């Protein structure tokens, strides 16, 4: 009998203990003191059209469980959609940080907390609650890429399968461009370098560890072998040994000559003309020579440029490009990415590598200054501020832009004018 009482007493204590443990969890679960059974259902009394969302094949777990208050505050909020926090923090509450601390590259939209730009937070017809399926979602933002892929003659099979074959949509710990692995490891997942045909296609050069995207466009191309559309003639003619050592040598990728001397073999007229100028663009004379700006194998850009002109020039002339971005008035040659309208990219006898002998001649390429102003200009008109300098377009305007309209150096206008015309100053 005593033993029975002890067991009964122990059982009661156990039940009380379990109830005490469950109480805080229940209190947290029902922190808004909803009526029994009201969780989720009470929201649908007003949001009746939301019933259709529940019929989608992929429903977000909190929605499926009727846990609207897991993301929303039912009473008031400082955030849109009555969210309990800003979007990124709401999502991170369950999904953690999607960008690892050691990420090599991260998707901008993820970094900015734009989860709902790709995912529907409630339900969707696509896996992972994606707003659109496959490449259609990616090309919604990457429109230029979508259009380019749609037009190419030769398409890369992984692109057809889906962007996520090669890219991580959130962040990558291994490579730039959100690649799931670094090149060439990524490429070797499909392309077998030990096949005889692979060696033959690459003229027996040991390219298994080379960077495939030096020559190939990973998204697609109008040239066979998905080479970039603009191919250097020796590559197109399969004459790699015109520039490189023989494939059987101990240094097959070494070039036969350094810097611009190698390019001079074919482009002798251009190189000799450059070297005959008073001012030479320093990359030409650098250790890498022409390769500072040009890809020696293939490129998406004309003239085998490594990148579109503005990003390419921005590599060194970052301050100039940033100034134009801040400028009230945009200069079309810079906006359109055509620095070579004004500058010769290789060499010139004029200051700043101008494409014309004088700054007035450069500006006159687009602007007929004689119809623009009656202000005297030219070699015979000396600047009162500095008698060693002639009055030119640049005396009043800064071609790369200023914080003032029309590129003028100072505002108000009369303050600029009276620097020279002191007699009319106040």
CA distances, 47 to each of 40, 43, 51, 54, 278 (Å) = 10, 6, 8, 12, 75
The verdict on residue 351 lying in a domain is yes
- The pLDDT score that the predictor gives to residue 42 is 81
Question: Which three-class secondary structure state does DSSP give residue 403?
Answer: coil
pLDDT reading at 16 higher than 90: no
Same domain? For 328 and 251 the reply is no
Tallying the residues shown for the chain, one arrives at 426
* pLDDT of res. 88: 85
- Residue 333 pLDDT more than 50? yes
Give the mean model confidence (pLDDT) for residues 383-401.
91
In the chain, the percentage of residues whose pLDDT exceeds 70 is: 91
170/95 same-domain check: no
Residue 333 three-state SS: helix
The reported pLDDT for the residue numbered 53 is 87
Residue 10 lies in a domain: no
pLDDT of 15 above 60:
no
Which segments of 149-195 are extended strands (E)?
154-155, 171-172
Cα pseudo-dihedral 319, 321, 325, 328, rounded to 10: 90
Residue 267, domain extent:
228-306
Q: Are residues 197 and 240 in the same domain?
A: no
Distance CA 50, CA 331 (A): 51
Answer with the one of 131, 158, 175 that is the final residue of a domain: 131
**Chain segment 185-236, per-residue pLDDT in tens:** 999 999 999 999 999 999 999 999 899 999 999 999 999 999 999 999 999 9
| Rg value, the chain, Cα | 33
- Cβ atoms of 379 and 373 within 8 Å: the answer is no
Q: Are residues 350 and 411 in the same domain?
A: yes
Per-residue model confidence as pLDDT tens digits over 279-299:
999 999 999 999 999 999 999
Task: Specify if 218 maps to a domain.
Answer: no
pLDDT band at 355 (very low <50, low <70, confident <90, very high): very high
Tell me which residue of 132, 94, 92, 130 sits closest to 113, measured CA to CA: 92
Q: Out of 80-84, 252-256, 305-309, 310-314, which region has the weakest mean confidence (pLDDT)? A: 80-84
pLDDT of 8 above 70: no
pLDDT in tens, 121-152: 999 999 999 999 999 999 999 999 999 999 99
Q: Which one of 16-30, 38-52, 165-179, 355-369 scores highest in mean pLDDT? A: 165-179
User: Is the predicted pLDDT of residue 20 greater than 90, yes or no?
Assistant: no
Domain presence at residue 18? no
Residue with tokens 């969780």: 39
The pLDDT mean for the chain works out to: 88
Domain count, the chain: 4
State mean pLDDT over 248-265.
94
Same-domain status, 418 and 378: yes
**Confidence at residue 182, expressed as pLDDT on a 0 to 100 scale:** 94
Same domain for 324 and 420, yes or no, is: yes
- Domain final residue, candidates 260, 278, 306: 306
Strand extents, DSSP E, 97-179: 105-106, 123-124, 154-155, 171-172
330 plus 405 within the same structural domain: yes
- Could you count the other beta carbons within 10 Å of the beta carbon of residue 35? 9
Q: Are residues 70 and 156 in the same domain?
A: no
Domain annotation covers residue 375: yes
Residue 38 has pLDDT above 80, yes or no: no
Q: Is a pLDDT exceeding 50 seen at residue 406?
A: yes
Is 243 found in the same domain as 183? no
Q: What is the pLDDT of residue 253?
A: 94
Number of neighbours of residue 172 by Cβ within 10 angstroms: 22
The verdict on 73 and 101 lying in the same domain is yes
User: Are 206 and 234 in the same domain?
Assistant: no
**123-124 and 279-280 strand pairing:** unpaired
Domain membership flag for residue 78: yes
Q: Is the pLDDT of residue 6 over 60?
A: no
- Whole-angstrom CA distances from 76 to 82, 91, 234 are 6, 19, 68
Instruction: Please return the burial class of 181, using the count of CB atoms within 10 Å of its CB with bins 0-12, 13-18 and 19+.
Output: middle
How much is the average pLDDT of 389-411? 90
Place of tokens 């005889």: 196
Specify if 163 maps to a domain. Answer: yes
Mean per-residue pLDDT for 54-58? 93
What is the structure's pLDDT at 339? 94
Answer whether residue 215 is part of any domain: no
CA dihedral sign, ordered 217, 220, 225, 227: negative
**Do residues 151 and 203 share a domain?**
yes
3-state helix, strand, coil in the chain (%, to 5): 45, 10, 40
* Three-state secondary-structure class, residue 358: coil
**Domain final residue pick, 306, 338, 362:** 306
Q: Which of 17-21, 44-48, 335-339 has the lowest mean pLDDT?
A: 17-21
């Amino acid at each position: 009998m005593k033993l029975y009482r002890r067991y009964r007493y122990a059982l009661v204590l156990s039940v009380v203990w379990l109830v005490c443990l469950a109480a805080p969890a229940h209190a947290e679960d029902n922190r808004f003191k909803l009526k029994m059974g009201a969780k989720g259902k009470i929201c649908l009394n007003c949001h009746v059209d939301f019933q259709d969302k529940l019929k989608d094949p992929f429903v977000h777990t909190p929605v499926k469980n009727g846990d609207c208050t897991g993301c929303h505050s039912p009473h008031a909020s400082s955030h849109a959609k009555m969210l309990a926090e800003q979007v990124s923090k709401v999502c991170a509450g369950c999904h953690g940080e999607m960008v690892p601390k050691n990420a090599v590259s991260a998707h901008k939209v993820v970094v900015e907390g734009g989860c709902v730009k790709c995912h529907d937070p409630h339900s969707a017809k696509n896996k992972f609650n994606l707003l659109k399926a496959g490449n259609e979602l990616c090309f919604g933002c990457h429109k230029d890429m979508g259009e380019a892929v749609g037009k190419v003659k030769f398409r890369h099979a992984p692109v057809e399968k889906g962007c996520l074959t090669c890219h991580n949509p959130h962040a990558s710990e291994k490579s730039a461009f959100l690649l799931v692995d670094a090149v060439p490891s990524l490429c070797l997942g499909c392309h077998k370098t030990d096949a005889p045909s692979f060696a033959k296609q690459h003229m027996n050069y040991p390219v298994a560890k080379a960077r495939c995207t030096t020559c190939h466009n990973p998204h697609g191309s109008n040239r066979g072998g998905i080479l970039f559309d603009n191919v250097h003639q020796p590559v197109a003619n399969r004459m790699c040994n015109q520039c490189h050592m023989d494939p059987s040598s101990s240094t097959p990728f070494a070039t036969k000559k350094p810097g611009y001397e190698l390019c001079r073999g074919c482009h002798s007229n251009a190189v000799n003309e450059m070297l005959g100028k008073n001012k030479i663009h320093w990359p030409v004379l650098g250790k890498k020579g022409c390769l500072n700006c040009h890809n020696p194998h293939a490129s998406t850009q004309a003239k085998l440029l490594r990148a579109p002109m503005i990003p390419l020039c921005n590599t060194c002339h970052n301050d100039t490009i940033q100034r134009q971005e801040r400028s009230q008035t945009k200069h079309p040659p810079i906006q359109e990415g055509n620095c070579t309208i004004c500058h010769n990219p290789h060499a010139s006898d004029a200051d700043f590598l101008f494409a014309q002998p004088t700054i007035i001649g450069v500006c006159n390429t687009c602007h007929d200054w004689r119809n623009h102003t009656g202000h005297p200009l030219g070699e015979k008109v000396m600047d009162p501020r500095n008698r060693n300098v002639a009055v030119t377009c640049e005396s009043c305007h800064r071609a790369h832009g200023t914080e003032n309209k029309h590129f003028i150096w100072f505002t108000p206008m009369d303050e600029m004018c009276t620097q020279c015309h002191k007699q009319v100053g106040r």
